[in-house]
């Protein structure tokens, strides 16, 4: 029996066992060849393990990507990633639907390819300012337009991402449609303004009524004072007549 270790980077990963019917059956030259064979086997085993591990890692990464893709496509929000030139690296289905295309067709394109020049220029300026400053843009309310030309209000958050050296490579964006919320705010604001207007008008009416009542009271006081004095004088006169008569 001859047992040859299988080594990789000075670490034993197995053994090559060869049996012979007779003792000392292997010549030194044969042993040398067997050692080379053992080294080649060790290398092949490590390569196979490395490839299998890489395949497992790639499969796990692909599964994570699939789950992430499923998640962002299921979100009602607009989720996207852009590079430092404001070109799409990723866009979910909602972003693509708003722009009348598919997620795959957005890759490498800018907002200028989908929106009006004015709106795209506004988006681009905001994004380039964000990339220059490195400061995230949080919950900014800005207009958006759908395929029908209808204006929507979007609450937008954009956060820059960096490479291992800390250099900004692009940003991640999330936009939430708050049109209904803005419309409710407008309705509530209008109702509040109307209520305040009615309260103000009612207050003015009460003030005018109080002023009229105060005026009437002053007139009444002016009229009743002489009348009360006359009553007192009449009573004194009647009393005097009665006394004289008695």
One digit per residue, pLDDT tens: the chain, 246 residues?
Answer: 667 677 877 777 777 777 666 677 666 777 777 778 878 888 888 888 888 888 888 888 889 889 989 999 999 999 999 999 999 999 999 999 988 999 999 999 999 999 889 889 988 999 999 999 999 999 988 887 777 778 889 999 999 999 989 999 999 999 999 988 888 888 888 888 888 888 888 888 888 877 777 766 666 665 555 555 566 556 656 666 666 655
Q: Identify which of 38, 166, 146, 161 has the alpha carbon closest to the alpha carbon of residue 89.
A: 161
Position 244 scores a pLDDT of 60
50 three-state secondary structure: helix
Position 103 scores a pLDDT of 94
Task: Give the pTM.
Answer: 0.59
Distances (CA, A) of 81 to 39, 75, 135, 159: 48, 15, 16, 10
The two counts, helices (H) then strands (E), for the chain are: 5, 7
Long-range contacts of 98-101 (CB under 8 A, 24+ apart): 98/144, 98/146, 98/147, 100/147
Beta carbons within 10 angstroms of residue 17's beta carbon = 9
Q: How far is the C-alpha of 78 from the C-alpha of 90, rounded, in Å?
A: 11
- Per the listing, tokens 């006394």 go with 243
Q: How far is the C-alpha of 125 from the C-alpha of 119, rounded, in Å?
A: 10
């Amino acid at each position: 029996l001859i047992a040859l270790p299988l080594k990789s980077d000075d670490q034993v990963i197995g053994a090559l066992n060869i049996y012979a019917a007779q003792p000392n059956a292997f010549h030194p030259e044969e042993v040398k060849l067997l050692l080379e064979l053992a080294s080649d086997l060790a290398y092949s085993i490590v390569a196979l393990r490395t490839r299998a591990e890489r395949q497992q890692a790639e499969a796990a990464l692909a599964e994570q990507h699939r789950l992430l893709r499923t998640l962002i496509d299921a979100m009602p929000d607009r989720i996207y990633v852009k590079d430092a030139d404001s070109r799409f690296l990723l866009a979910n289905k909602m972003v693509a639907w708003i722009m009348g295309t598919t997620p795959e067709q957005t890759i490498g394109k800018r907002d200028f390819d989908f929106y009006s020049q004015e709106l795209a220029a506004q988006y681009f300026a905001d994004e380039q300012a964000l990339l220059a400053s490195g400061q995230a843009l949080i919950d900014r309310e800005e207009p958006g337009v759908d395929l029908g030309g209808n204006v929507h209000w979007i609450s937008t958050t954009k956060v820059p991402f960096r490479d291992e050296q800390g250099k900004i490579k692009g940003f991640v964006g999330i936009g939430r449609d708050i049109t209904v919320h803005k419309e409710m705010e407008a309705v509530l604001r209008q109702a509040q303004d109307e209520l305040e207007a009615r309260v103000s008008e009612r207050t003015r009416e009460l003030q005018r009524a109080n002023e009229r009542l105060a005026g009437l009271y002053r007139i009444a006081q002016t009229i009743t004072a002489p009348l009360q004095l006359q009553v007192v004088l009449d009573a004194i006169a009647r009393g005097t007549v009665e006394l004289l008569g008695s």
